[in-house]
């Protein structure tokens, strides 16, 4: 094959490789942007999960405290009823 024809074929191949390389670079940049957005979403979900976990722990603690206070109040009511009954019987 003549040198000029080989040169034309090589130049065509170089041109195609440049176009392919640019397309690949664009695809890599797009993929990087998607990865960054995904990481941001994952981090936001982690933050919200942590916040919800803290809120749920606080709610559970409040419920335990309310239950304890309820038991104490019920005990006080029971004792007051017993005292009231004793006073009625003493009359």
Residue 4 gets which letter from DSSP? Answer: H
Over its length of 91 residues, how does the chain's per-residue pLDDT go in tens digits? 798 899 999 999 999 999 999 999 999 999 999 999 999 999 999 999 999 999 999 999 999 999 999 999 999 999 999 999 988 898 7
Query: Residue 84: which H helix or E strand, with range?
Result: helix 3-90
DSSP string spanning 17-76? HHHHHHHHHHHHHHHHHHHHHHHHHHHHHHHHHHHHHHHHHHHHHHHHHHHHHHHHHHHH
């Amino acid at each position: 094959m003549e040198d000029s024809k080989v040169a034309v074929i090589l130049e065509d191949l170089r041109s195609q490789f440049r176009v392919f390389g640019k397309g690949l670079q664009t695809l890599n940049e797009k993929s990087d942007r998607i990865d960054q957005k995904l990481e941001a979403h994952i981090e936001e979900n982690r933050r919200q999960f942590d916040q919800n976990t803290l809120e749920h722990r606080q709610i559970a603690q409040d419920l335990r405290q309310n239950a304890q206070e309820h038991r104490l109040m019920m005990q006080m009511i029971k004792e007051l009823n017993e005292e009231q009954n004793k006073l009625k019987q003493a009359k």
